[in-house]
Amino acid sequence: MSVYPLPVPARPGAKRRPLHRTLRQWFDTEEGERPLDPATADRIDWLRASPFIALHLGCLGALWTGVSGTALTTAVVLYAVRMFAITGFYHRGFSHRTFRASRPVLMLFAVIGAACVQRGPLWWAAHHRNHHRDADTPLDPHSPRVHGFLWSHMGWFLTRRAFRTDLTRVADLARYPELRWLDRYDIAVPVTLAAALYGLGALLQRLAPQLGTDGPQLLVWGFCISTVALFHATVTINSLAHGWGTRRFKTDDDSRNNFLLALLTFGEGWHNNHHRFPGTARQGFRWWEIDLTWYGLRLLAALGLIRGLKPLPSRVLEALER
């Protein structure tokens, strides 16, 4: 049952937020920020959330564009690359600091992560750190135990409160101006990706018509469908992995291990493992617990692109093998 307030009539004399301010906030998240009104802070801001809704509606474009092998391959590759950026860097890197990397490497994967349309790296890390602090309590905005499945899956982050970045939780990251810029203008990378896909499709239509694709098709499949699939796979860890699966460890929250979710999210589905030991870059603790993100991070470490990768403590591994 949700603890969020039901709609109430506007207070006499209350000022509505100007439309132009909301429109500017689509491009500049810090534009016109005002103190939150407790009466409306935890309701969905439908106008500000309309680009997110439009992204879902854009998937219906496949009814007109059709599909090709080129479009489908593009969608799958972009899903995989961006999922790794979210799980490996937004989550295990920025949120939990389980490894170190140079600023160029961090920025590269921060840009790829920003292309996921899951907002900026500071916003993502701040909310995730708050989640671990308050997991499955009334202060956790996406606990299915407290707020129900639909709200924990996608409603919570469309509210006026959730649109804000709690910089006090990410002071270690906020000192990097490039990450602050990505967080403030979080729509810049997705729009650039969408435009690039449309342009690539138009170019392939002219230069390689045998591939059977064009600008609208690559836009729909490479951006809309791939991004929506990526989003819903990612947030299953909020909604499903806190109620569906097995519990190896007795934690203070409802986290579960789930093999299917681990496959979809490159290892994030080993969520009970993660809540027990959030400081390790590895979430699949046993050899059969497939953790593609861990494998990818080990490859980057072998290539010298990241360092100080924090493994699971040997005492835990030894205990699991008994």
- pLDDT score of 16: 53
Q: What is the pLDDT of residues 71-106, one digit of tens each?
A: 999 999 999 999 999 999 999 999 999 999 999 999
Contact between residue 114 and residue 120 where contact means Cβ atoms under 8 Å apart: yes
Q: Burial letters for 66-80: b for 16+ Cβ neighbours within 10 Å, e otherwise?
A: eebebbbebbeebbe
Model confidence over 252-288: pLDDT tens digits? 999 999 999 999 999 999 999 999 999 999 999 998 9
Domains contained in the chain, number: 1
**Does residue 292 lie in a domain region?**
no
Which pLDDT score, from 0 to 100, does residue 106 have? Answer: 97
Q: How confident is the model at residue 29 (pLDDT cuts 50, 70, 90)?
A: confident
Q: What is the pTM of this model?
A: 0.90
Closest residue by Cα to residue 86 from 107, 59, 115: 115
Task: pLDDT band for 198, please (50, 70, 90 cuts).
Answer: very high
Residue 35 CA neighbour count, 13 Å, CB half: 2
Helix (H, G, I), strand (E, B) or coil at 96: coil
Compute the distance between CA of residue 291 and CA of residue 170 in angstroms, rounded to an integer: 26
305, part of any domain = no
- Looking at the DSSP bridge assignments, the partners of residue 257 are 246, 270
What is the pLDDT confidence band of residue 5, given thresholds at 50, 70 and 90? Answer: very low
Kindly tell me the sign of the dihedral angle through the C-alpha atoms of 147, 148, 153, 159: negative
Assess if residue 257 is contained within a domain: no
Q: What is the pLDDT of residues 32-62, one digit of tens each?
A: 567 777 878 888 988 889 999 999 999 999 9
190 belongs to a structural domain: yes
- The string of pLDDT tens digits covering residues 110-141 is 999 999 999 999 999 999 999 999 999 999 99
**14: confidence class by pLDDT, cuts 50, 70, 90:** very low
Instruction: State which residues form the domain around 89.
Output: 51-244
Kindly report the length of the chain. Answer: 322
Average pLDDT on 153-167 reads 91
pLDDT of residue 249: 93
321 occurs within a structural domain: no
Residues 6+ apart with CB under 8 A from 134: 140
Query: Does 109 reside within a domain?
Result: yes
Amino acid at 46: W
Position 18 in a domain: no
111 part of a folded domain: yes
C-alpha to C-alpha distances, 53 to 60, 215, 230, nearest whole angstrom: 12, 21, 15
pLDDT of 89 reads 98
How many percent of the chain have pLDDT more than 70?
90
The residue with tokens 């899951």 is: 118
**Rounded alpha-carbon distances, angstroms, from residue 50 to 44, 118, 124:** 11, 14, 20
